[in-house]
Structure 1
Amino acid sequence: MSRWTSGWRPALRIARRSVRRNLKRSILIAALIAVPIAGATVIDGMLRTMSGAEHNLYQAMGTADGLAQITGQHALPDWRPGMSPYGMHDPTAETERDPAAVDLLGMLPPGSRAVPEPKFLGVQLTEGDRIVRTDLMVFAVGDPLTEHRARIVAGRAPDDPAEAVVTKPLADRLGLLTDDGDGLRPGATITVDDGRTATVSGMAVNPLQLDQQAVLTRPGSTMADAGVSFPEMVLGYYVDLPDGVDPDSVWPVLAEHGVTFTPREVHTQPERYPALMTGGGDFLETAGPVALVVLFGVLEVVLLAGAAFAVGARRQVRELGLIGANGGTSKHVRRTVLAQGLFLGTIGALAGLVLGWLVLVAGTPLWQRLTNELVDGWRFGWIELVVAAAVGVLSGLGAALVPAIGVARMRPVDALAQRFRSTAMTARLPVLGVVLLGVGIGGVVVSGLLARQVMADYQAMLEQEGAVYTSPDVMLPTVGAVLGGLAMVVGVIMVSSGLLGALGRFAARLPLSARLAVRDAGRHRHRTVPAVAAIMIVVAGAVAMSFGLAAGRSTDFRSQPENTVIVEGDPMLSDGDEQLATGAGDVAAELPGGEALEITMLSGSTPTPDGGPTPVAFGSPDSTSPRCDMSWAQAGIATPKLIELATGSPPSPAALAALDRGEVLVLDECLFPDDATTGAVSTEADEEAERVTLPGRLLEPESEYPYYQFPAVFVSAETAAEHGWTPEVGGYVVTHDPTATQDDIDTALAAAEDNGLNGYVNTDESAEIQAVSLGLAGGAGLVTLLGVGITVALSAAESRADLATLAAVGAQPRRRRLLAGAQGLVISGMGTVLGLVVGAGIGFVVVPLSGDLAFPVPWESLAVTVVAVPLLAVLVSMLSTRSNLPMVRRVD
């Protein structure tokens, strides 16, 4: 051990001094190592805190010892912890029971406490002319066992039947906050639409849903039965057991009486409960993403930081030559450079852990807004982080390995003279690299064709009558794409050296700066290839994800036409058509050019089993049209304006004449046999009503998929009356001018909410997709700038004497900037082109796996990534390079 330490101790001292002397370069290398470790720390903290076992436990039962659920069965002999209480049936029981009549405390150990789970209802509040629809939660507000459902942040919990608590978002909406926005206005009250009033005693937040708007009240209060809810089949209770009671002794007794009891240990010790259906566990769920971030980061670090280490090794080559001149061997030289990698790797790993922790802690308010949850404290998987930090240290050593070997091979006389011997500009391509590249290209092509065939077969299967909806088996093409992409990446890296050599052989035809840049890149492939590989990898990832985003956007469908707002009521809370009409009018008044159009659906005379109206639906059971997953669609009353909105163009005179003749206008080709534009469509079969068959005409809608808020079948009002169909208001569509701003739309949606209605606008994901695409291009640009900057700096370090010679023979001062720009263009251009090839190959598999067989090309994203990023690298390289260079003495 002493011999080992005696060899490394001087190397570490030299490394420490070298880091201090070259502080900027050392900070760059440490930062490159720290970034992936910080990313892994952030991801691990987010996953552990927001989705780990402790989070799931708190979400399910808070601080309770267990969750008891009373079922309608008298006994549950087959139930085990981890199983759902719903659907359990006792074959020996003759009748079911009312869960509310069961005495739970009588079954629990003496000294136990049981607090009911919140009961969720819907309620409408009034504030002047406003109708505010919100949730009503009835439970023991303020009890420690329900703290995970509501935490009092102002005032107090209700202790009088005429009191209630509101969440902070609802208090803000109702104007109950003080001027500073943190407190509750004294004497605040809320009023239900039936006239009952409650005093607001406090304000709360839901730790698991910070933006929840709800009224919280206790059982038996004035507000407890003010809302509307569905009947509950199972009643849940949070249970606090006396100290010393084993939860595993409780659940068997309760199961004999038809009550389930889930202990806390189901979440913290799932291995004790075989009946629990679990996934890979906390460790696998968090270790996978962390490992992905770390491994990708290590690859980039080894490539980029390796080039930066080469800069340092070349600049301290004279110092390293002195080691050889004083009796040191190649081993001592290698150890000196590796010690710098170990030193900086340790600093970078520790800095990454601290940086990740600071990002989480300092950004807690931001993370709470993004996750919509309250963060009481960050939790980490220390095993994952220790492994990540160790990998970071090893990545520092790996980055220093190649420069260490290269410098150790230099002759001491060359090192003392700071003379670097160039390699011959050969253009040989490694056979293994060519083979891997060919195998990778073939693999992704075959995988893409296989994925396309799998998805085509899956869609054809769905078109068959009686098809069972299952997920397509895409395991084989996915594995093939991963392996093929990996082979392509490795193959491209291996052949890059030969490509640089081949490119250098044609440099004589280029201008001077470009000729020097190409030859420099070809002769110094030890620093050019890592930068090209790093740029290629990140560009390939950005291109592949751009293809996936483009495929997802092309297969998406719009829910409603542009420049419209859909207004609908809540069947449980709406006061009928009058409220809907008033609300739609208020929405239209807030929009420029707003006009409210009624969407009228048709119902038959035969009621449903629950007493509701029976929709009038048309269809053709003989249809086998592609993409059809249903052969019936509800009918509605036609108006020219609604037809124009649904199809994107005004109805033709022939279509209007067909309506007058009693025909049906069909917007969905699924309702007709293949390639038919006219045909007979029938109402859906009914046991008590006679099926009606009418001639139909297909209208081509603007969107491939009909808007689901509109009828897919239109009939005239006269035809509906002739057959006894009843018009029912299904909602309103409010059209407005394209000049409407986002503020106008937000105000209109607020007007719908004020009337107790729902307002919807078209979900346009193009902005989000554009932001993601720009983010991908930004990431690719950052790595490109790092790779180009490091390589250009290394070239300047190695070519200082040559540049001085050029200046001495009359080269203009701007020649150095032009040379730096040409070097940046060679490196970034080659990296992006190779990345485009690899990324497009992976995208060839990603697109059909997303369900799109048309293979859309994201031209805008590719233009930003492939054109703008290299040009930016060239510009930055030129601007960051000094024109003037002091003369240096050439030593032979």
Structure 2
Amino acid sequence: MSGTPERGTPESGGPRDTGNAEPRGTGPRDPESTEPRATGWAAGLSSWRAAIRIARRDAWRSKGRSAMVLAMIALPIVGVSAADITIRSSQLSPQEQITRDMGAADARLSDGFTGGKPLYQDPKANTSLSVAYANTDPDAPPSDTADTDTDSSKPIDARAGMPAGARWLSDTQVYAQFKTKYGLLQDPVRELKADDPIARGITRLDRGHYPAADDEVIATNAFLKSSGLHVGSKLTVRDLDRTYRIVGAYDLPSELKTEQVIARPGAFIAPYRAARKAANASVQDDYTTYLVSVPGDFTWKMVQQSNAKGVTVKSRAVQLHNPADSDVPLYRTRQGKYAGNYGGSSSGRAEAVTVAATIVGLAMLEICLLAGPAFAVGARRSRRQLGLVGANGGDRRHIRAIVLSGGLVIGVAAAVSGTLLGLLLTWLLRSPLENYVGKRFGGLTLRPAELLGIAALAVLTGLLAAVVPAITASRQSVLSSLTGRRGVRHANRVLPVIGLGAVCLGVGIAVFGSMRTDSTLAVGGGSGIAELGIVALAPTLVGLFGRAGKWLPLTPRLALRDAVRNRGRTAPAVAAVLAAVAGSVAVATYAASSDQGDRDAYQARLPRSVLTVMTSYDNVRDLPAVRAAIEKHYPVSGRADVSTMIVGDVKCQLTYGDGKGCGDVEAMRPPANVCPNDRPEGTEGLSLAQRRALADDWRCRRVDAMDAMPTSSGILIGGPAVLHALGIRDGAAEQALAHGETVLFDKAYLDHGALRLKVILDTSKTVPEGQEPVGPVRTVPVHMAAENRTQSFGVLAVMPKEAAETVKAAGVRTVPLGSFYTNSRMPDSRQRQALDSDLAKIGTDADVYLERGYTADNNLILLALTIFAGLVTIGAAGIATGLAQADAEPDLKTLAAIGAAPRVRRTLSGFQCGVIAVMGVVLGSAAGILPAVGLRHTERRHEWRYYHQMLDSGWANQSQVPHIPIVVPWGTLLALIIAVPLGATLLAALVTRSRSQLARRAEP
């Protein structure tokens, strides 16, 4: 080795050491040459053309590094371009949207629900049921209020609004219960002649054919998937003794996830209504619209003529060409002035643009930080070539041009490949994307300007990633480039000052935004500025980490020293890890805090592991079979059957009666126990202090609990077993129930030892404002329980059967409601699946609820964030480790030459990777907590402001006091700080070769 002449000496034949002098622009020139020298822009163009050729050749030679950087830049471009094409393709033109709604018809006519009274319609609304106001006099000026006549909602035939000579097609829908492979499925049935030319475009037949007979139907693919049926299956409807055959499968192009069945007009609804009536069961009213075809267009004047008869119209011509606002009567009303404004607020759009720009900017920063060290690797490996450029007359701008051209070449390749792959990916995944979006595309829509902008981001990202390596390479002397000597780099003293200032400014903005304003944008912007400041401080912070080397063993100390001495490649990798980890920690902290808030606010419907089964009056017949299935599969330790009180005939809903002949039972508060803001005069006349005092008034406390088994009165009829199921252990209350006394849980309803119940015989009658419904009142003696209504899970009172008999005299009757079940342990997944299977076989819509307690749903989010941060950390640390190995190759060969064990190479590489990962993860974890805490403080301010508004109005209570906890996800942080660096260390050690080929001297 000692006999080998050094480079740069006359003996070696290399260039002489001329000091650190830099060539000034041109090399030696042949004095006899008569070729004119290029000047100006021509010289610049020629030098850039040569630089691009050199960069393209280097990229082709270093295929692995080039592919890595290209993939790093191209992957986001693939995603963004695919998202752009998907979004634009899913946005239908007005003509396409109208065709999917009304087919080839000129208009769709609907009942305006004004009982035939004239109405005003908004032509800019997106549906036929547009914003409209009734008016009792068609010649009167536009009214701001609707007609309150009780007959105004009486259905009318929308055909009354059809012009003369129109051809129409009815479109009627009703819900029915189908017997499927798995049980019972309630879905809409539509009577429509789907193969008529007027309806062409509403449906898209996938397979089979349209119904040709009254016993044939077609079903959507979503219905077939949910029901387990297929084309050719027989379709059975509950309570209907006739069956239908599915002869085709179709899709609604804009509603792919809709479950629906289509039958021929008159083939289903009439016999279904008759069968339900014979079974003494209720049926939902059908809703009919009409598809209308007229000669020419359905004009705005024709629409107004239909409106005068109480019919709303969605017209193709009006939707495509809106009339002038002066021709729309609705816009002349006070409320109608705002009817045509369907756009979002400018502030909301500005915030969305700002957020999108921030995300794009951070993504570009992340890519630049990751790709920058890779370009530095290329520049370092090409330093001899760059030195030769300088030795032959090239100056610093030529060196910078060559390195920047590498970024340009990779950026252009990433832009082209990313955009083409995005288009190809969208085309290949068109069907899954349509299913995900929920509607068919009108076609693949390409916006060239948007795609060029996305591609330009890739080029810009490649150039930005090469900026720092270009500057670094241009500052190296020709001698150090040719000999491979590293030289001495002085630390930048300006960058740490800028970074520290940015950190202080960003933290100040974030703190001010969270403490003094409600702007989440200020918190996010301040946090972003602070994070950029930490990125600028990365070289200085890396130097501070170096002081910990004296406590480390030899190999990690060497790795740390190498990282500190070569901050140009270490700092970008640490900054990239920092940015990724900071974002992950911010989201994880916010998610964990939100999860804790949801956990604290969770309202259990029942004690844990208690089950309820509740059924409607139509399905009481299924209750014995459901109870048997529960007792068969669950570890039942107790059962309590309950009933409820109803007023009216069998058509009335069990809990909330509606319509003529339906009544209700209402618990009455004594006048002295009524909260002042519940009285007719409300809080008028009360001072601010009195309104605020209502928050602590026991009479104004709202019941903040989920109802264990909701009823209109809040009263359940049962025995002491009901108390056991609710988790209430009160011996006095159990004895009171056993002796026929009602147990009351809310003292606001206690009236001299009794509970007063008002029986409302007809809830459909209009009650003048400020008056109470009229009805007989019954009084039952009560026992006041020790527990309050919240602790009884929303149950107001438990009434024994003996007490319910006294209320029956007022026209009230009791019907079974369901059962409570206590379990000896929490049923497992297999038991729940077995029960669900039996319930499906029974074919009932009974409500079976098992209280499992609060279940966190963010564990998957935290895991995904940890994996993402880990991948970025390992990738960034791996890039920096590759650069370190390129720099340290002579040292490693020297170690091998003097007899160092092969594992030293692996160990050193592993610790080099681990050191970078540790520094980035620690700094990123500290930086990521700031935005999450700031956002939570902003939410807390918003909630407290709202609470004070409610307090001042007299509507606040203690249960509404804001609770916005801040929780640090220590599990996620520990996984990032310990597991991720350890994994990066082991992975780097495993992929590093143990041995290297020895040579007499290091290769240039």
Instruction: Give me the TM-score of the superposition, normalised by structure 2.
Output: 0.73
Question: Structure 2: how far apart are the matches of 1:338 and 1:272?
Answer: 56
Alpha-carbon offset, residue 100 of structure 1: 0.9
Question: SS at 1:799's partner residue?
Answer: helix
CA contact (8 A) 1:70 1:260 kept: yes
Provide the secondary structure at the position in 1 that maps to 2:421: helix
Residue 395 of structure 1: CA displacement? 0.6
Matched letter for residue 743 of structure 2 = V
Pick aligned residue for 1:220 from 243, 251, 266: 266
* Residue number among 310, 323, 342 corresponding to 1:277 in the alignment: 342
Distance 1:611 1:440, change over 3 A: farther
Once the 2 structures are TM-superposed, how far is the Cα of residue 890 of structure 1 from its aligned partner?
4.8
Q: Cα gap change, 1:173/1:279 in structure 2, threshold over 3 Å: closer, same or farther?
A: closer
1-structure distance, mates of 2:658, 2:156: 28
Counterparts of 1:302-451 in structure 2, within 5 Å, are 302-374=368-440, 377-424=443-490, 430-449=496-515
* 1:28 corresponds to which of 61, 68, 72: 68
The size of the alignment, in residue pairs, is 839
CA distance in structure 2 between the aligned counterparts of 1:488 and 1:113, rounded to whole angstroms: 68
Matched residue, 1:121: 174
Gaps of 5+ in 1: 178-182, 451-474
The CA distance in 1 between the partners of 2:480 and 2:211, in whole Å, is: 85
For residues 573-588 of structure 1, the aligned pairs below 5 Å read 575-586=618-629, 588=631
Q: CA shift at 1:740, angstroms?
A: 5.2
Matched residue, 1:635: 715
* Equivalent-residue separation in structure 2 for 1:129 and 1:396 (angstroms): 56
1:73-95: CA deviations, max 9, x gaps?
55445643328535421241499
Letter in structure 2 aligned against 1:106: P
Corresponding letter in the other structure for 2:734: L
Amino acid at match of 1:696: M
CA 418–583 in structure 1, closer or farther in 2 if over 3 Å, else same: same
> Per the alignment, in what secondary structure is the counterpart of residue 996 of structure 2?
coil
Q: For the structure 1 residues 640 and 870, does the alpha-carbon distance in structure 2 shift closer, same or farther, using more than 3 Å as the test?
A: farther
Cα gap change, 1:602/1:44 in structure 2, threshold over 3 Å: closer, same or farther? farther
Give the drift of 1:789.
0.8
- Over 3 Å counting, the alpha-carbon distance change for 1:152 and 1:531 in structure 2 is same
Given candidates 803, 819, 829, the residue that maps to 2:892 is 803
Contact 1:53/1:268 (8 A) holds in 2? no
After superposition, where does 1:141-180 map in structure 2 within 5 Å? 141-143=194-196, 146=199, 150-171=203-224, 176-177=229-230
> Within 2, Cα distance between the matches of 1:383 and 1:432?
37
- The answer (yes or no) to whether the contact 1:164–1:216 under 8 Å persists in 2 is yes
Change (3 A) 1:736 1:631: closer
4-13 or 745-754, larger mean C-alpha shift: 745-754
- Give the Å deviation of 1:737: 7.2
Measure the CA separation in 2 of the matches of 1:485 and 1:861. Answer: 20
- Tell me if structure 1 keeps the 8 A contact 2:896–2:902: yes
SS of the equivalent of 1:153 reads strand
- CA offset digits 1:638-683 (Å, max 9, x no partner): 5566545544xx63545534655746364xxxx579xx9xx99887
**CA separation of 1:82/1:207 partners in 2, compared to 1, >3 Å: closer, same or farther?**
closer
Alignment-derived partner of residue 467 in structure 1: none
**Residue of structure 2 aligned with 1:776, choices 865, 878, 888:** 865
The 5 Å alignment of 1:525-544 reads 525-544=567-586
Say whether the 8 Å CA contact 1:554–1:852 is kept in structure 2. no
Specify the alignment match of 1:92 in structure 2: 137
- The letter for the 2-side match of 1:123 is A
Separation (CA, whole Å) in 1 of partners of 2:644 and 2:500: 64
User: Counterpart of 2:239 in structure 1: which amino acid?
Assistant: D
The question of 1:882 aligning with 2:993 is answered: yes
Tell me the CA shift for residue 142 of structure 1. Answer: 3.2
Question: Percent identity, aligned pairs only?
Answer: 27
Shift of 1:366: 3.8
Residues 659 and 552 of structure 1: CA distance in aligned 2, closer, same or farther (over 3 Å): farther
Contact 1:70/1:259, CA 8 A, preserved across alignment:
yes
Tell me the distance in 2 between the aligned counterparts of 1:69 and 1:80.
14
Q: Is the Cα contact below 8 Å between 1:444 and 1:845 reproduced in 2? A: yes
Tell me which residue corresponds to 1:202. 248
- Equivalent residue number for residue 486 of structure 1: 528
Secondary structure in structure 1 of the residue aligned to 2:518? helix
Confirm or deny: 8 A CA contact 1:44 1:286 kept in the other structure. no
Distance in 1 separating the partners of 2:106 and 2:446: 24
Residues 682 and 694 in structure 1, CA contact (< 8 A), matched pair in contact too:
no
| Greater Cα radius of gyration, structure 1 or 2 | 2
Can you list the C-alpha shifts for 1:531-568, whole angstroms capped at 9, x where unaligned?
22222222222222222322333343355665566544
- CA root-mean-square deviation: 4.3
Q: 1:867 aligns with which of 972, 978, 984?
A: 978
Give the aligned residue type for 1:880.
Answer: V
Provide Cα deviations, 1:480-532, integer angstroms capped at 9, x if missing partner: 31122112212211222211122224423322222222222222222222222
Q: Structure 1 pair 214/615, CA: closer, same or farther in 2 (3 Å)?
A: farther
Aligned counterparts, 1:706-855, within 5 A: 711=795, 713-721=797-805, 727-732=814-819, 742=829, 744-753=831-840, 754-759=842-847, 766=855, 768-847=857-936, 849=939, 852-855=963-966
Q: What displacement does 1:69 show?
A: 3.6
Distance 1:841 1:271 in 2: 53
Change (3 A) 1:866 1:261: farther
**AA in 2 matched with 1:31:** A
User: How do residues 656-671 of structure 1 correspond to structure 2 at under 5 angstroms?
Assistant: 656-657=734-735, 659-660=737-738, 662=741, 664=743, 666=745
**Kept after mapping to 1: 8 A contact 2:640/2:725:** no
Contact 1:427 1:499 in 2 (8 A): no
**Counterpart of 2:187 in 1: which secondary structure?**
strand
AA matched with 2:365: L
Q: Is the 8 A contact 1:301 1:399 kept in 2?
A: yes
Q: Distance in 2 between matches of 1:346 and 1:269?
A: 44
| Normalised TM-score (structure 1) | 0.82
Q: Secondary structure at the match of 2:618?
A: coil
Per the alignment, residue 187 of structure 2 pairs with: 134
Cα distance between partner residues in 1 of 2:605 and 2:257: 25
1:697 equivalent to 2:740? Answer: no
User: d(CA) in 2 for partners of 1:3 and 1:272?
Assistant: 61
3-state SS, counterpart of residue 219 of structure 1: coil
Q: Secondary structure at the match of 1:781?
A: helix
Residue 163 of structure 2: aligned partner:
106
> Deviation string for 1:585-624 (max 9, x for gaps)?
3355455669875454455899877443525558875584
Distance 1:200 1:310 in 2: 66
Opposite residue 90 of structure 1, the aligned amino acid is N
SS at match of 1:420: coil
- Aligned pair in 2 of structure 1 residues 394, 652: CA closer, same or farther (>3 Å)? same
- Once the two structures are TM-superposed, the CA of residue 792 in structure 1 deviates from its matched residue by 0.7
Secondary structure of the residue aligned to 2:993 is coil
Determine the C-alpha separation between the residues in 2 that align with 1:560 and 1:56.
Answer: 46
CA contact (8 A) 1:423 1:524 kept: no
Distance 1:128 1:359 in 2: 36
Is contact 1:425-1:505 (8 Å) kept?
A: no
1:498 aligns with 2:540: yes
Separation in 2, partners of 1:681, 1:551: 43
| CA 1:175–1:366: 2 relative to 1, 3 Å | closer
Gaps of 5+ in 2: 1-40, 139-146, 274-281, 326-338, 649-655, 676-693, 708-713, 759-771, 941-961
Does 1:524 pair with 2:566?
yes
Are residues 1:13 and 2:27 paired? no
Is the contact made by 2:184 and 2:843 (CA closer than 8 Å) also made in structure 1? yes
Contact 2:55 2:406 in 1 (8 A): yes
